[in-house]
Structure 1
């Protein structure tokens, strides 16, 4: 296939949007994205579902079978040791090394089909054991790898531009599975591409088409209700309130504080990444054990389950939003410190996505700050999620849209504070970082 969006205009200059849309190669590429949307979405669904089943087995079924009501305080130590032993040969021997290093963001070259086994091992064998990273990076890698694999299976050839576009469309379709639809993923493409005008539209159309087609798998079609998805959702949030002057007065420094916490985690992650360049295999195991120690410390300090500080934090975020009063400020601070340190180590040493754990850390920080006079719980939750996402991704618009979708019916009132927090956190993170973050 030679479906490149880059065609030359009659005058020999840059092509117009009309010329791109009418070119046979680009139309074939749109058709291919339309066809690939559903199978990639189905593969992503089963991928995420299997990961969720494995997490439940490790952190609930096994402790119950061993006679415990919940995972005991020492549970993360053998679990993370096993995760390190699994990851060590993946990051040193398998093609693709299990995916991008998470401290570099979600960017990098597309993951090809040869790297899919390593990515699958990371997501299905290591992450469920308690690695403090999200499923978004492996899921995007699976989407891009499957898209490129489909092109090869059809015995088509493509230039570098078309291959990159197809990989991006596949990643967008896959990540829509956990972002609850194509909107956040599409905004991420727009903001992360750093493009404008004709180039932006040419890139965005295939991504929107593939992700929207894939979304039918989850939204349903006609009498078919669709498949249930494990997307990042908040089924319950604190009572709806309209932000006042106190929320903004406290919200701005709280967003800056969250950005500093995230930036500190990224700095530790970069140091960890540098340390992993030598003796990678044993240091990978050591880093995983260090994460287990952080999770164990959380359980010992709070008397709560170590599962709350482990994994991506999607389930705990829902619990925190639904019942913030069940968490003391001390427990929230312990969660921020222990999960934050574990996340920082994982950023530089292990494999997975950096976004989801940071959102929980930001939400916990915002709710902890809600004890200040004048700052409400709902505004604290809203600004915390938006600020953390903006600081870790460097994409304030994407982060604001994600926070708004998570808040549901409360989003209308919280939107000004969400946008303000995202901008403040983005600017703060840009000012304190030493090197530009990787693009999503």
Structure 2
């Protein structure tokens, strides 16, 4: 990389930087193909375990005990990845998401932990392993064209690979690009030198994902909210947003505090804690089904599909079921954050959405504003990157985005500030949580 880029100044529009941009765009194509295959396999495994196989066995609705054997297998596979393979299965989710590329040698452990845990019931999302797959694949591809391992150019291209890999899963390549850039900036990286490569790779990745989806017909879904009714904003919605954001941020932070307290134990005894985490998750899912009569899937997995169902028909879930969902999924989320492997964002967004649906019964608090406030507050609490959180939730709202932007921004700021206040007594900073 040229001297200007390495010192953080605006890079020259020629020479080595143009070569870096070209490599980022070219690498985005094969990286996106690999990421597409990973997501398609993840989707197929999830559908097989929770839809296809139960339907063939005549288990409709799913019985309370169905998650237990699958979760135990998943815990064993994650434990093997952590204890037996390089890289300990990838990033520990309670520590947030890292924009640093994963070395290719750690890719087998990341894949085993992700494909063994996520489709079998772990309450985590696909974003962290997907970023690892993209970054590691990019590093493998660019090694013949960079001067050596550990160079700034290699780091930028690895980060661009992560952006390309997650360009669709967040619902928009713009979210992926901004998220990568904000995460890199919060960890001390020179954001100037990665702006254009990451945005280019994310755009190329979105095109490849779309083309592969149309060509293969394989479903690779992104985080989305279909079926939201057109909504308007009132003063009472804004007034309710502040206390709602504080309450949701406090609740989500407590989940992360529990995960943080369990993480050191999981570090010392990874296999035991992985099995304990899946056992707790199975108990939570079974108890939820026995108490509410609803599917245990409400408590399991990333919440991506459940979020779409909740947005389509929020009245289908009673207040009692929502409370039980928040309690049981929150507990399963905490132990998964500490002992399993995956991304922390998707379950947090779902918990915020469920809390928002629960709060829309407050006088003067509309359903869509409450949903928007809940998701924004939870996302800002889980992901202490406020710009990324605001853009992600705003784009999720689709046609309601323009009307709900004030609610989203207020909720993000209030939740982010609340999180900083809650972190201060423990000596943490937002940068440390995002590292």
Q: Residue 17 of structure 1 corresponds to which residue in structure 2?
A: 10
- 1:381 has 2:371 as partner: yes
Task: Tell me by how many angstroms 1:75 deviates.
Answer: 1.2
Match of 2:20 among 21, 29, 32: 29
Task: Tell me by how many angstroms 1:257 deviates.
Answer: 0.9
Determine the C-alpha separation between the residues in 1 that align with 2:385 and 2:9. 28
Match of 2:101 among 110, 123, 142: 110
Asked if 2 retains the 8 angstrom alpha-carbon contact of 1:97 and 1:118, the reply is yes
Provide the aligned C-alpha RMSD in A.
2.3
Asked if 1 retains the 8 angstrom alpha-carbon contact of 2:277 and 2:332, the reply is no
In structure 2, the CA distance between the partners of 1:325 and 1:438, relative to structure 1 (3 Å rule), is: same
Q: Residue 138 of structure 1 corresponds to which residue in structure 2?
A: 129
Q: Residue 80 of structure 1 corresponds to which residue in structure 2?
A: 71
Q: Residue 414 of structure 1 corresponds to which residue in structure 2?
A: 404
Determine the C-alpha separation between the residues in 2 that align with 1:56 and 1:220. 22
Q: Residue 288 of structure 2 corresponds to which residue in structure 1?
A: 298
Determine the C-alpha separation between the residues in 2 that align with 1:8 and 1:224. 38
Determine the C-alpha separation between the residues in 1 that align with 2:385 and 2:35. 24
Asked if 2 retains the 8 angstrom alpha-carbon contact of 1:41 and 1:177, the reply is no
TM-score computed with the length of structure 2 as normaliser = 0.93
Equivalences for residues 164-175 of structure 1 within 5 A: 164-175=155-166
- 1:205 has 2:200 as partner: no
Equivalences for residues 308-319 of structure 1 within 5 A: 308-319=298-309
Q: Residue 40 of structure 1 corresponds to which residue in structure 2?
A: 31
Task: Tell me by how many angstroms 1:397 deviates.
Answer: 1.4
Task: Tell me by how many angstroms 1:7 deviates.
Answer: 4.1
In structure 2, the CA distance between the partners of 1:169 and 1:338, relative to structure 1 (3 Å rule), is: same
Determine the C-alpha separation between the residues in 2 that align with 1:345 and 1:113. 28
Asked if 2 retains the 8 angstrom alpha-carbon contact of 1:359 and 1:388, the reply is yes
Determine the C-alpha separation between the residues in 2 that align with 1:98 and 1:406. 30
Moved more, 242-251 or 149-158: 149-158
Match of 2:434 among 423, 430, 439: 439
Task: Tell me by how many angstroms 1:289 deviates.
Answer: 1.0
In structure 2, the CA distance between the partners of 1:70 and 1:156, relative to structure 1 (3 Å rule), is: farther
Asked if 2 retains the 8 angstrom alpha-carbon contact of 1:219 and 1:227, the reply is no
Determine the C-alpha separation between the residues in 2 that align with 1:96 and 1:326. 43
Asked if 1 retains the 8 angstrom alpha-carbon contact of 2:357 and 2:371, the reply is yes
Match of 1:429 among 399, 419, 429: 419
- 1:402 has 2:397 as partner: no
* Secondary structure, aligned partner of 1:240: coil
- 1:323 has 2:313 as partner: yes
Asked if 2 retains the 8 angstrom alpha-carbon contact of 1:363 and 1:382, the reply is yes
Task: Tell me by how many angstroms 1:18 deviates.
Answer: 4.8
Task: Tell me by how many angstroms 1:176 deviates.
Answer: 0.9
Moved more, 153-162 or 176-185: 153-162
Match of 2:40 among 49, 52, 69: 49
Match of 1:64 among 50, 55, 74: 55
Task: Tell me by how many angstroms 1:87 deviates.
Answer: 1.1
Asked if 1 retains the 8 angstrom alpha-carbon contact of 2:186 and 2:434, the reply is no
| Unaligned segments of structure 2, at least 5 residues | none
Asked if 2 retains the 8 angstrom alpha-carbon contact of 1:133 and 1:354, the reply is yes
- 1:332 has 2:325 as partner: no
Determine the C-alpha separation between the residues in 2 that align with 1:155 and 1:401. 33
* Secondary structure, aligned partner of 2:434: coil
TM-score computed with the length of structure 1 as normaliser = 0.92
Determine the C-alpha separation between the residues in 1 that align with 2:414 and 2:264. 29
Give the total of aligned pairs.
428
Q: Residue 233 of structure 1 corresponds to which residue in structure 2?
A: 224
